[in-house]
Amino acid sequence: AQVFPDVAAGVVASLEEEFAFLLTKKDAASVTLETRVRVVRYLGELCKFRLYPASALMNCLKGLLDEFSGPNVDAAAALVECAGRFLRRSPESRVRAENLMEVMMRLKGVRHLDNRQAALVEGAFYAATAPKGGVNAARRKRRPPLQEYIRHLIFVELSEQSIADVLKRLLRLPWAECERYVLKCILKVVRGRTSNLPLVISLAYGLAQYYEPLGVGLVDGVLENIRAALEAPYLSSYQRRLADVRLLAELYNYMLCNSGPVFEALHLLLAFGHGSMEEQHTDPPNDYFRIRLILALLEGCGQYFGSGPAGARLDRFLTFFQAYCMAKVQPLPMDVHCDIHDVVGALRPKLKWPSSLEDAISRVSELLAAEAAAGGRDAIEAAEDEEEERQRKAGGGGGGGLV
């Protein structure tokens, strides 16, 4: 039509003539139903490409509403579904289009339409009047422009190629005003794909080089989320709980924390809720999900606990972990048994598994007695923390950094 205007004019004239003929044709058997629907859809598409006047298209709709019965009902619904949204959003046709659609819905209520035609009319009306962005757009939370910009950078723009550019843009923001929201967005990354975790934590590592409290806030936020999930162990939160422990592992890998928060989370997963009235609710004997969480955390960062204070802490934790596993209903599910063999076997190939629960409890008792003889666990942990801090300053610990 841009090159040969006569082509569009000829098509429009032919369609108008056919529509006028069909409008005057009364066929109770709906012989022309398919033809009517095809013609009005064709006219609707031409209108959306500005090849057919909106006023003329609404005249066609009015003609169908004047004889709102039989195949005209299907044709009117098809026209509204095809071009109703366009007519409502065009300033020159908005008012009349809304009036015609309201007339169509009133006619639906007073005419005795069958269920099929009633559903067609309702579907066409709601398709034309749905808010921009979908049916949930009206409920979408409205945020200040600065928060929308931060979300766009972290959730949309961030990639392996753009991470340096995104970091520069975030550093230009008024940090006192934006720090809490940036932290909130980074913690929300667990709702997306797990493969994005290293990328977002790499960005957090870069930000923490300039704003150290961000790293502390991330670790505190993850630990708080893990504890909150243990207090309310709903099935719907299982995937998020897995993502939280993987996020904590990545925080250690990128040296945003030492091994203390990791082992705090590990022991929390073992001990939370035990010895209380709610033990059967928080961690029943036939529930093995905490074992999966522990294995996910160890799989994420356990390779850095090979020696030194972190290695000693892992050896101590595995003693308690063996007793915890033996206290569960035996035998363990095959997938859990295989995961334990793979993860623990990779970290400590020479570790011997206890033969019974009594054997596991005996090992725990011996460990606690040895710690008491050495001055208590607090003194041991203080020495381990000092040694680990020296190793981290010398370049040990996790294996992260800005990509």
Residue 301 has phi, psi (to 5 degrees) of -135, 5
Contacts of 30 (CB under 8 A, 6+ apart): 70, 71, 74
Q: Tell me the pLDDT of the chain averaged across its residues.
A: 86
pLDDT for res 17:
93
pLDDT of residue 395: 58
Mean pLDDT to the nearest integer, 115-122:
91
Cα torsion at 223, 227, 230, 231 (round to 10°)?
-160
Predicted TM-score of the model (pTM): 0.65
Report which of residues 386 and 189 the model is more confident about: 189
Task: Report pLDDT for 66.
Answer: 92
pLDDT digit string, tens, across residues 262-277: 999 999 999 887 766 6
Range of weakest confidence among 66-75, 201-210, 231-240, 250-259: 231-240
Task: Check pLDDT > 60 for residue 330.
Answer: yes
pLDDT, one tens digit per residue, over 138-191 is: 456 788 999 999 999 998 888 889 999 999 999 999 998 999 999 999 888 877
Across 220-239, average pLDDT: 84
What is the average per-residue pLDDT within 56-83? 92
pLDDT at 53 over 70: yes
pLDDT given for residue 60 in this prediction: 94
For residues 253 and 305, the answer to whether their CB atoms sit within 8 Å is: no
